[in-house]
């Protein structure tokens, strides 16, 4: 008879002992994430609860007497018009600056230039507003007159041209300068991380520096540039003081960029009217703030989705 062999027990996995510091860090990180979500939920709950009276009020009780939708619609148009104009101006400039700093400028110049551009983000909004009002607006008056005479057949430049320069076009340029460092910083970071293997292979095959950038850098950094542009758009949507100082708002919905009759933005309208608002007027302003909250949240979620699409991209694949 052959002796039966006793079954062997599978080797036990070693027990992982977590240090106290790891547990504290994990708990604090988790708590911070939960806290941010609670703050976001609290802000949303406050806006919704305070906006309900305006949402349920009769149309004649809303400021303007035409209902909440008619009150907020021009503000939404003004907000989107100024922000999109700023995005169209700032994004090409930011990409060009990022490429120059990363691949063309000498190292010493690149470091100083990048610092100066990032410094634009530290300038207060009030300073941008006064600069736009005192410097940029008067300087753009001749362009407004020229645009009315030569491009008046386009609704964006239909005129009559403003004599003060306090137009939506001026606001768009001010916002473009304000969001330029945001888009440029993200674009520089993404372009600098383009796979060296791809860049060197393109140069080894005889490509010029621009051809290397077009074939190896821009395809890699495209999603990062889009995400940076979306973050800049979110910044432009919520700008308050600079727009309130520069823009001569108060008109209805219009696409005219060079006229003195401009739709105001949600943020600037709240800042200008809230000190004198009472009763249902406050609820109406908060309701418009809820709309801005939803728009900004949607823009940031879109940016995060774009970033996550490229999260698994690397130089190896």
Per-residue pLDDT 10s for the chain (317 aa) are 455 555 565 555 556 566 777 788 888 888 888 998 899 888 889 888 888 888 887 777 777 777 777 888 888 888 888 899 999 999 999 999 888 888 888 888 887 888 888 888 888 888 998 998 889 888 988 888 888 888 888 888 887 888 888 888 899 999 999 999 889 888 888 888 888 888 888 888 887 888 888 888 888 888 888 888 888 888 888 888 888 888 876 667 778 888 877 888 888 888 888 888 788 888 888 888 899 999 888 888 877 777 776 655 444 34
Sign, Cα dihedral of 219, 225, 230, 233: negative
Residues 196 and 265 in one domain: yes
Residues 36 and 169 in one domain: no
What is the span of the domain harbouring residue 176? 69-313
Residues 52 and 73 in one domain: no
What number of helices (H) and strands (E) belong to the chain?
12, 0
**Is 249 a member of any domain?**
yes
Residues 42 and 185 in one domain: no
**Is 2 a member of any domain?**
no
Please give the Cα distance from 145 to 152 (Å, whole number): 10
Residues 39 and 157 in one domain: no
CATH of the domain at 222: 1.10.3720.10
User: Residues 51, 290: contact at Cβ < 8 Å?
Assistant: yes
Residues 52 and 161 in one domain: no
Residues 28 and 108 in one domain: no
Q: What SS3 class is residue 289? A: helix
Phi, psi of 198 (to 5 degrees): -70, -40
Count Cβ atoms below 10 Å from residue 97 Cβ, excluding itself. 21
Residues 145 and 178 in one domain: yes
Residues 39 and 100 in one domain: no
Tell me which DSSP letter residue 167 carries.
S
**Is 61 a member of any domain?**
no
Residues 239 and 168 in one domain: yes
**Is 308 a member of any domain?**
yes
Q: How far is CA 289 from CA 42, 53, 131, 167, 285, in A?
A: 14, 14, 27, 23, 6
Q: Which of 250, 282, 251 is nearest to 269 (CA)?
A: 250
**Is 264 a member of any domain?**
yes
**Is 119 a member of any domain?**
yes
**Is 62 a member of any domain?**
no
Residues 91 and 41 in one domain: no
Residues 48 and 79 in one domain: no
Report the domain count for the chain: 2
pTM: 0.82
**Is 246 a member of any domain?**
yes
């Amino acid at each position: 008879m052959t002796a039966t062999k006793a079954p062997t027990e599978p080797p036990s996995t070693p027990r992982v002992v977590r240090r106290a510091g790891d547990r504290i860090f994990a708990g604090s990180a988790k708590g911070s994430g939960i806290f941010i979500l609670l703050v976001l939920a609290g802000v949303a709950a406050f806006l919704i609860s305070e906006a309900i009276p305006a949402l349920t009020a009769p149309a004649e009780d809303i400021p303007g007497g035409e209902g909440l939708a008619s009150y907020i619609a021009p503000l939404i148009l003004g907000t989107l018009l100024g922000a999109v104009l700023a995005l169209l101006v700032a994004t090409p400039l930011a990409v060009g600056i990022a490429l120059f700093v990363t691949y063309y400028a000498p190292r010493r110049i690149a470091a100083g230039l990048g610092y100066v551009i990032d410094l634009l983000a530290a300038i207060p909004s009030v300073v941008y507003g006064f600069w736009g009002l005192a410097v940029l607006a008067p300087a753009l008056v001749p362009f407004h007159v020229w645009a009315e005479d030569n491009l008046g057949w386009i609704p964006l430049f239909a005129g009559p041209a403003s004599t003060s320069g306090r137009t939506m076009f001026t606001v768009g340029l001010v916002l473009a300068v304000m969001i330029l460092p945001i888009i440029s910083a993200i674009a520089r970071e993404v372009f600098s991380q383009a796979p060296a293997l791809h860049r060197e292979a393109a140069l080894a095959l005889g490509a010029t520096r621009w051809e290397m950038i077009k074939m190896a850098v821009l395809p890699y950094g495209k999603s990062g540039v889009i995400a940076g542009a979306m973050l800049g758009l979110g910044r432009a949507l919520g700008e308050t003081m600079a727009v309130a100082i520069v823009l001569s708002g108060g008109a209805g919905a219009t696409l005219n960029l060079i006229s003195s009759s401009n739709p105001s933005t949600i943020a600037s309208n709240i800042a200008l009217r809230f000190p004198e608002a009472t009763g249902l007027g406050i609820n109406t302003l908060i309701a418009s703030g809820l709309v801005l909250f939803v728009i900004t949240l949607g823009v940031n979620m879109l940016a995060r989705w774009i970033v996550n699409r490229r999260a698994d991209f690397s130089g190896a694949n």
